[in-house]
Amino acid sequence: MKTNFSSIKNIIDGKPTIIIKNGKLDSEACRSKGLSASDIALQLRSQGVFQLKEVKRAVIEQNEKSIIIGMEDKNPKYPVITDGVIQTDILEIINKTEDWFMDELKKDGYKKM
């Protein structure tokens, strides 16, 4: 049942879109969000980033806000679970696996997510 609601929510609200990964721009993702090169440059500059190679991950959220994670960010603070779904891209950023995360939940007394 929850999966059905999540699917409907994704259709209505959309999903976060990764537009930059490890300094590489995903031009198709940018086009799908209607972002021009100047839009992206403005988003990056507003967060103090001046070169793509400085960006580990850039995500455009459903509300069109951007999350920029720099290559040097050692402790990004972003949710690992959103709407009951494990955000594997966030785990990737912190160099952890889904298995590691599930083990940590079990250590904290959670039997299932």
Domains of the chain: 15-77 (3.30.240.20), 78-112 (no CATH)
Residue 26, pLDDT score: 95
Q: Using the predicted structure, report yes or no on whether residue 5 has a pLDDT greater than 60.
A: no
Q: Using the predicted structure, report yes or no on whether residue 4 has a pLDDT greater than 70.
A: no
Length of the chain, in residues: 113
> pLDDT tens, 89-102?
788 877 889 999 99
For residues 51-79, b (16+ Cβ closer than 10 Å) or e, as one string?
A: eeeebbbbbbeeeeebbbbeeeeeeeeee
